[in-house]
Amino acid sequence: MALKSQQPLDPAYLEKLQDYYAEHKVIPSYSVLATLWGISAKSWVSECVRRFEEAGYLGWTPDRQLKPGPRFFERRLAHDTVQAGLPNPALSEGYDLVTIDDYLIRIPSKTSLVRVKGDSMIDAGIHEGDLIVVEQQPNANVGDIVVAIVDNEFTVKYLDREKSTFVLKPANKAYPVIRPKGRLEIFGVMAGLVRKTR
C-alpha cells in the first residue's frame, strides 16, 4: 500500500474540476466531486485528490479544507511549433505555464486598469475597448506609453519631449500632439494590454 502514483492522473478529472471552479469559485465536496467525475465511491475520490495534491494541483488550508494548489491555475502556453504527428500540441513537451494575472501584474496594489477610448493609439496596436494595465507612478521616461490625466480625462499616449517640456504623442496621424499647459499629470505607465474579442 501507500505506493507512489507514477501514472499521470486522468487529465479530464482536473479539467472538470477547473471548469467547476471557474464557474463557482469554490472546490466542491467529495460527494459532488464524485458526481462531477462520474465516480460513485468517495474513497476513490479521496485517492484522486491525494494524487492531485501530490502533483501540486490541490492543497489544504491550515484548517484542513481542500483548496486549489499552486499549479491549479496554471495556463498552458501552446508552443508555436507543433510536433509532427502529435494530436494535441498543448499537451506536448516544453510548455510554459502562466496565469495571466501573474504575467501582467507585478505590483497588485499599484496596478489598475483603464479602458481605452478612441483610436488615437491605433498604430501602437491599442484599440478602442482594450484594457490598459497601468502601473501607477507620477513620472515616466520619454518613449513610454503613459496614462495621463488631461482635462479630467484619462489619455493614453506616448510620452515625448519638445525642448524642455513634455508632450503627449498619439500613434495616429489623424490626432494632434497634446502640449499640456502647466504641469503634465501622469497617472501611470502602461505595463500591458488586455483585449477581449469574444
Partner DNA sequence: TGGTTGACAGAACGAATGTTCGGTACCGTA
Partner DNA sequence: TACGGTACCGAACATTCGTTCTGTCAACCA
Q: Scan residues 138-197 and list those touching its own copies (CB under 8 A).
A: 145, 149, 152-154, 187, 189-197
- The three three-digit cell numbers of residue 38, written as one number: 462520474
Instruction: Assess 197 for contact with DNA (CB under 7 A).
Output: no
192's contact among DNA, its own copies, none, with CB below 5 to 8 A by partner kind, is: its own copies
Q: Of 184, 63, 171, 72, which is closest to residue 121 (Cα–Cα)? A: 171
Give residue for cell 480625462.
Answer: 153
- Using DSSP's 3-state secondary structure scheme, residue 90 falls into helix
The nearest distance, CB 36 to DNA, in angstroms, is 12
Determine which residue in the list 20, 44, 154, 175 makes contact with DNA, applying CB under 7 A.
Answer: 44
137's contact among its own copies, DNA, none, with CB below 5 to 8 A by partner kind, is: none
Catalytic residue among 40, 43, 117, 157: 157
Residues 6+ apart with CB under 8 A from 171: 120, 121, 122, 123, 124, 126, 158
Residues 6+ apart with CB under 8 A from 146: 140, 156, 157, 158, 159, 168, 186, 187, 188, 189, 190
- The three three-digit cell numbers of residue 179, written as one number: 502640449
- The piece of 12-20, 40-48, 159-167, 172-180 that touches its own copies (CB under 8 A) is 12-20
b/e code 116-132 from CB counts within 10 Å (16+ = b) = beeebbbebebeeebbb
6's contact among its own copies, DNA, none, with CB below 5 to 8 A by partner kind, is: DNA
- The piece of 38-46, 123-131, 152-160, 178-186 that touches DNA (CB under 7 A) is 38-46
Examine the residue annotation and report whether 112 is marked as an active-site residue of this protein.
no
Instruction: Assess 46 for contact with DNA (CB under 7 A).
Output: yes
- Residue 8 gets which letter from DSSP? P
Examine the residue annotation and report whether 173 is marked as an active-site residue of this protein.
no
47's contact among its own copies, DNA, none, with CB below 5 to 8 A by partner kind, is: DNA
The nearest distance, CB 76 to its own copies, in angstroms, is 5
Instruction: Assess 90 for contact with its own copies (CB under 8 A).
Output: yes
Interface ranges with DNA (CB under 7 A): 3, 5-7, 10, 29-32, 39-47, 49, 63, 66
